[in-house]
Amino acid sequence: MSAAPRETHFGERKVRLDEKQRLVDEVFHKVADRYDLMNDLMSFGLHRVWKDILVAKLRPPRNRPFAHLDVAGGTGDVAFRVAEAGGELTEVTALDVNGEMLRVGRERAQRRRDGGHVSFIEGNAESLPLPDDAFDGYTIAFGIRNVPDIGKALAEAFRVLKRGGRFLCLEFSRADTPVLDRLYDAYSFAAIPAIGKVVTGDGRPYRYLVESIRQFPPPDLFEEMIADCGFARASFTRLSGGIVAIHSGWKL
């Protein structure tokens, strides 16, 4: 008897694991050109602060070479911050499965002074086209909840990091208090798809983004998943009343 296909969530829908990536790709294909503007509108610019805090935790050194990988790097928002914080000796690879998001990222790189320190490559977080033990740092921001098999992505993160390398993940989480949680829910489900419809002409991709936040494991469970993949000192920090969390682990 053949085993039942593994299932996961695509927003509130249950889908086969091998179906999810195509659906996710369609979402980001549609939103790529308005992605950065929408991020500012949806989060009132807060995503910039969260990304700054992520990079401050990474603290790329300015006095020695630092090889960094930003997975699900999209339009390069985190990659550019790491390049700027690290300076001349930092080289950043931004990897994403979606060619459209990468195209926007490459266009941005051309307009930046430090753009030469960021390279954009197409690839899947679940099977990175990169060698073992190659990177000092790995970040993934608002990306991992879109990946069909999160365990595979974590195992790949562990594989490509050098000993002493750090894994950092910025992801939506659960608000700390029931009141904030209800307010956040109301805003997310009512306002975000509506803003998406006005700005991009289609609210559905944004409904998926909101629903997918709800399906992502709570931070303590995700912390266990990170530790189970071999990362040492797995921990997380809640930001903005728990709306997002930064998860950390070390390959020691």
Residue found under tokens 């996961």: 8
For ligand SAM, which stretch binds (CB under 6 A), given 21-29, 112-120, 179-187, 195-203? 21-29
Q: Which is nearer to ligand SAM, 77 or 136 (CB)?
A: 77
> Is there binding between residue 146 and ligand SAM (CB under 6 A)?
yes
> Is there binding between residue 92 and ligand SAM (CB under 6 A)?
no
Question: Which one of 141, 150, 161, 168 is in contact with ligand SAM (CB under 6 A)?
Answer: 141
Residue 217 neighbours by CB distance under 10 Å? 16
CA distances from 88 to 55, 66, 97, 136, 248 (A): 16, 10, 27, 15, 25
User: Which residue number places its CB atom closest to ligand SAM?
Assistant: 74
Q: Which is nearer to ligand SAM, 26 or 114 (CB)?
A: 26
- As to burial, measured by CB atoms within 10 angstroms (0-12 exposed, 13-18 middle, 19+ buried), residue 38 is buried
What is the DSSP code (8-state) at residue 203?
A: S
Question: Which one of 72, 83, 213, 245 is in contact with ligand SAM (CB under 6 A)?
Answer: 72
> Is there binding between residue 101 and ligand SAM (CB under 6 A)?
yes
Q: Which is nearer to ligand SAM, 14 or 62 (CB)?
A: 14
Q: Which long-range contacts (CB under 8 A, 24 or more apart) does 33-42 make?
A: 33/100, 33/104, 34/199, 34/200, 35/74, 35/75, 35/101, 35/104, 36/75, 36/77, 36/104, 37/199, 38/195, 38/196, 38/199, 38/200, 38/206, 39/77, 41/195, 41/199, 42/192, 42/195, 42/206
> Residue 37, by phi and psi: left (phi above 0), alpha (psi -120 to 50) or beta?
alpha
> Is there binding between residue 212 and ligand SAM (CB under 6 A)?
no
Residue of 69, 68, 71, 112 whose CA lies nearest to 90: 68
Q: Which is nearer to ligand SAM, 67 or 102 (CB)?
A: 102
> Is there binding between residue 171 and ligand SAM (CB under 6 A)?
no
User: C-beta of 145: minimal distance to ligand SAM in Å?
Assistant: 8
> Is there binding between residue 28 and ligand SAM (CB under 6 A)?
yes
Question: Which one of 10, 24, 82, 173 is in contact with ligand SAM (CB under 6 A)?
Answer: 24
User: C-beta of 188: minimal distance to ligand SAM in Å?
Assistant: 14
Question: Which one of 7, 26, 126, 202 is in contact with ligand SAM (CB under 6 A)?
Answer: 126
Residue of 188, 202, 208, 197 whose CA lies nearest to 30: 202
Q: Which is nearer to ligand SAM, 78 or 118 (CB)?
A: 78
Question: Which one of 60, 74, 196, 219 is in contact with ligand SAM (CB under 6 A)?
Answer: 74
Q: Which residues bind ligand SAM (CB under 6 A)?
A: 21, 24, 28, 71-74, 77-78, 96-98, 101, 124-126, 141-143, 146-147
